[in-house]
Each structure stands twice: as structure tokens, then as C-alpha cells.
Amino acid sequence: MEKLIITAAICGAEVTKENNPAVPYTVAEIAREAKSACDAGASIIHLHVREDDGTPTQSKERFQLCIDAIRRECGDAVIQPSTGGAVGMSDLERLQSTEVTPTPEFATLDCGTLNFGGDEIFVNSDNTIFNFARIMKERGIKPELEVFDKGMIDIAMKADRKGLLVRPLHFDFVLGVQMTATVRDLSFMAGSIPQGSTWTVAGIGRHAFEMAAAGIIMGGHVRVGFEDNLYLEKGVLAQSNGELVEKVVKLAKLLGREIASPAEARGILGL
């Protein structure tokens, strides 16, 4: 089996210090959390940024500061800016994270609209998705196709048929938001993408490590981090993103899967 790529989603746009005091807001805190994740074995940092008071922002300047700081701490780690941002942001606002220097090699592309809990709806119309895909292709940015249910794979395939994506594709199955995080559903997702594609699974909340173990066994890759889950185990808050990554590394070792370095991750993903 290929080596395991671990992505650390260190910050997100929704979780706060009230949920876990280690959630990073400032540039220094974001760099600290990225370092803890890379030191533990993450080769990709999935990045959202915040203002110092915790407000999510897609500001190009803030992304640039955070990316430069992460680069100083994490050497050659792959930095994957979010183009999802936070619920309610405009498309132009969201795309700013790709306007940094140098142009990112990888960024997220959310492939559908979904219920995000309570009254929140994360809106991604077909035109938004196709436009983001076109811009990423023009800029040479590989999209990580964020799919929260099977219909979003089908929308991604529409973009593929329109020539807006470059194969091989890479998907992130985010399970436990709109679609349940079960091995049955993960298998359905993994069986629904084109041959030759790669995939990562992110299990939300209490599903994080079940989905990580399933991803390791099934030959996929794994995402963990505060964006998805704040707990190391039931009732025990993680003190850093590094602790969450360390737990995935331990699972991988137990299950006989080696961990990919950033250079190896680039090779596997064709970055």
C-alpha cells in the first residue's frame, strides 16, 4: 500500500477557544499548531486563518502572513489554503486565499451546498464550483475536491466532463456533517470515484479516529485536526493538533502503514 498522507486541519473557521483553548487565532498560534502537526507526522496543513480575536477571514494579507510563518516552522510541508472559508462569505472573498505568493500548489474546492448545522447553509452553486475549478486550473493549483456526500462527487464529475479538472483527481470525504461517518458510507464514496484517483477521509467529531482507522486500512489517506475534532478521546481535549496527528501515526504503525513525508505526499498526489 502507498504511504499514508496525514493532513492536519489545524484551525477551521467554526471552532473557538471556548471549545478548546488550544484553537489557534494569531499568526504565532497558527504557526505553533502547524509545527506541532508537522513534527508529529503531518505532511499537509489545511489552512483557515483568523483575526486575532478569532473572527474567520479570507484576507489575502492574513493568509500570506500565516503561510510565511508556517513555512518558517514546517520547512517543505504542503500548505493547502481553504477556499471554503466560513459560511456566508462571498466567492471573491473566499478566493483570496489562492492569491498569495508563491501561488499555492494545492487548495480546497467545495463541490456542493450543504446543511452545516442549525440554520447554517454552506452555499456552493454549480457556477461557483465551476468558476473556482476554472480559476484553479488557470493558476496551476491542484484542487482537493471536498465532498460531504455522494451527490458532490457527481457534481465534481460534471466539472471533470467540462474539462475544468486535471486527472488524477484527489477527493476529501468529509463524513459526519451531512452524510453519516460509517464504514459503509466511506466504502460507497471510495467506490464512486474514478479509477486512479486518490482520497482522504475526515471524520467529524467523535468519528475522527474510526474514520482514520478505516482510511488507513482501505488505502486512503487521513485528515484530522481541530477543524474536525477537538478531542483526543471521549472527554479529553487534545492539547495540540500534534496530539491528534500522533494518534493517527500510532494507528498507522499498528496497522502496518508507513507515513509519507511532504516530498512523498507530493509524489502520491502529483503536486
CA 227, distance to chain mean position in Å, is: 9
Stretch that binds ligand KMH, among 20-28, 76-84, 162-170, 191-199 (CB under 6 A): 76-84
Q: Which is nearer to ligand KMH, 11 or 74 (CB)?
A: 11
In the complex, least distance from residue 131 CB atom to ligand KMH, rounded to whole angstroms:
15
Least distance to Zn ion, CB of residue 195, Å: 27
Angle between helices 126-139 and 150-161 (to 10 degrees): 50
Verify binding: residue 13, ligand KMH, rule CB under 6 A: yes
Q: Rule CB under 5 A: which of 53-92 touch Zn ion?
A: 82
When asked if residue 146 is in the footprint of ligand KMH (CB under 6 A), the reply is yes
81 near ligand KMH, rule: CB under 6 A:
no
Whether the CB-CB separation of 10 and 226 falls below 8 Å is answered with yes
- Of 9, 101, 7, 103, nearest to 47 by C-alpha is 9
Q: Per-residue DSSP letters for 131-192? A: HHHHHHHHHTPEEEEEESSHHHHHHHHHHHHTT-S-SSPEEEEEESSSS---HHHHHHHHTT
The residue from 23, 74, 86, 251 that contacts ligand KMH (CB under 6 A) is 86
Q: Does the protein bind ligand KMH through residue 123 (CB under 6 A)?
A: no
| Number of residues this chain uses to bind Zn ion (CB under 5 A) | 1
Verify binding: residue 122, ligand KMH, rule CB under 6 A: yes
Return the closest-CA partner of residue 224 out of 21, 232, 265, 257.
232
Residue nearest to Zn ion according to CB distances in the complex: 82
Quick one: 50 exposed, middle or buried, by C-beta within 10 A (0-12, 13-18, 19+)?
A: buried
Residue 128 near Zn ion by CB under 5 A:
no
176 part of the interface to ligand KMH, by CB under 6 A: no
Least distance between ligand KMH and beta carbon 77 (Å): 17
